[in-house]
Structure formats: C-alpha cells, structure tokens
Amino acid sequence: MTPLDWPDFYFARHGETDWNRERRYQGTKDIPLNDTGRMQADASGVLLRELLERDNVDPLSLRWFASPLGRAAETMERMRDAFDMELPPVVLDPRLLEISFGTHEGRLHSESRANRHWRVSMTAGITGPSRARATMTWRCACSISPAN
C-alpha cells in the first residue's frame, strides 16, 4: 500500500482532564476526563457522525482504535454513542499511548520550562511542531494499517 492509496484516517484527541486545565504534563499517567472533557467527547462524536455522513462512509466499515489510557478510551466510547448503532469493537492499542514525560508527569508546564535540561531533552531532534505532528501521524498510521 502506497501513501497515495491509503484510506482516510479520522483522528480525535481525548477530551480535557483537570491536568490539561491546570497545564500539567500527563504523559502516561491515567488522568480521567473532567466534565468539560466529557462534553467535548460527546460533541466530537456528533461531529464525526456528521463527517462520515457527509463523506458517505459507513461507520460499520471502519476499524476503531484508541489508546488504553482511560481518558482516550472514554473519549472513544462517548464519541461512538453518537452513532446509535452497534459498531465494531474498539481495539485498545498500547502503541497509541502518549509519550512518557518521566519525572515531569504531574508537573506544571511552567515548572518544566524553567529547567534548561528538560527543554533540551524535549526538543532534541525535533525541528518544529509540524515535524512532531507529522512523525506522530506517520507512527499512528503505520501502527494501524491493514498490514499490521
């Protein structure tokens, strides 16, 4: 399969958590959705349903994947509730986990930015936000391609 004939992918980020609101690094810590995050997940489900209807995509034909972290799995389940039908099961795939921030998980962004060594390690090898996004998207797409 070449990149030109890949199927469409629909990505969604998990809803808000208290740590997101507080600007804390979460990484692999399993912080649950808050009320805002649950509303965001519900709204994302409606949006996804509308996108699939617009594009004439049968949701039963899709493969559904989520990170095994509770906030991602709950976001996925709440999004799927918008479809009012029995959808294929969700695959909770550990390859979709967020990166670990190690000892910085739970720290405020402002605390970590003050640490020069942390800034260097977080930016090593990355030339900008678009590169990081492209790398993440490629990794996810390769992880869940039909060949895997």
The CATH code of the domain at 7-144 is: 3.40.50.1240
Residue 91 pLDDT > 90, yes or no? yes
Tokens of 23: 């600007």
More confident residue, 64 or 118: 64
What number is the average pLDDT over the span 22-33?
94
Q: What is the mean pLDDT of the chain?
A: 83
Phi, then psi, of 88 in degrees rounded to 5: -55, 155
In our burial notation (b when 16+ CB lie closer than 10 A, e otherwise), range 103-136 reads ebbebeeeebeeeeebeeeeeeeeeeeeeeeeee
CA 66, 72, 76, 77 torsion-angle sign: positive
| Angle (CA) 145 50 37, round 5° | 80
Domain boundaries, the chain: 7-144
What number is the average pLDDT over the span 18-39?
96
What number is the average pLDDT over the span 7-17?
90
Give residue 85's pLDDT: 96
Q: Give the active site residues.
A: 14, 98
More confident residue, 111 or 50: 50
Tokens of 3: 């990149």
Please tell me which of 22-26, 44-48, 97-101 the model is most confident about, judged by mean pLDDT. 44-48
